[in-house]
Amino acid sequence: MTFLEEVKSLLVESQRRPIKIPDEIQKEFAKDCLSAVQKQFTDKRESEFRIRMSNIGRPLCQLQMEKKYATDSTVGYADNYNTKLRNLYGDIIEAVVVMLLRVVKVNIQGVQGKVKLKTKYFDIKGTYDIIIDDKVYDIKSASSFSFRNKFGQGFQSIANDDVFGYLPQGYLYAQSLKKNFGGWIVINKETGEMLITEPPQEDSKFKREALKRANTNIKALMKDEPFERQFELKNEKFGRNETGNKVLGTVCSYCQYKHKCWGDDIQYLPQQQSKSANPTYYWYVELNNPRQVESEESQKK
The predicted-structure confidence for 260-271, as pLDDT tens digits, reads as follows: 999 999 999 999
Question: How far apart, in whole angstroms, are the C-alpha atoms of residue 210 and residue 57?
Answer: 8
Residue ranges in the chain modelled with pLDDT below 50? 295-301
| pLDDT of the residue at 294 | 55
| pLDDT of the residue at 72 | 76
| pLDDT of the residue at 1 | 84
Report the predicted TM-score, pTM, of the whole model to 2 decimal places.
0.88
| pLDDT of the residue at 76 | 60
| pLDDT of the residue at 77 | 60
CATH for the stretch 3-222: 3.90.320.10
| Angle at CA of residue 176, ends 117 and 52, nearest 5° | 50
| Closest C-alpha to 197, from 242, 234, 264, 149 | 149
| pLDDT of the residue at 71 | 77
End-to-end distance of the chain based on CA atoms, in angstroms? 67
Domain ranges of the chain: 3-222, 234-300
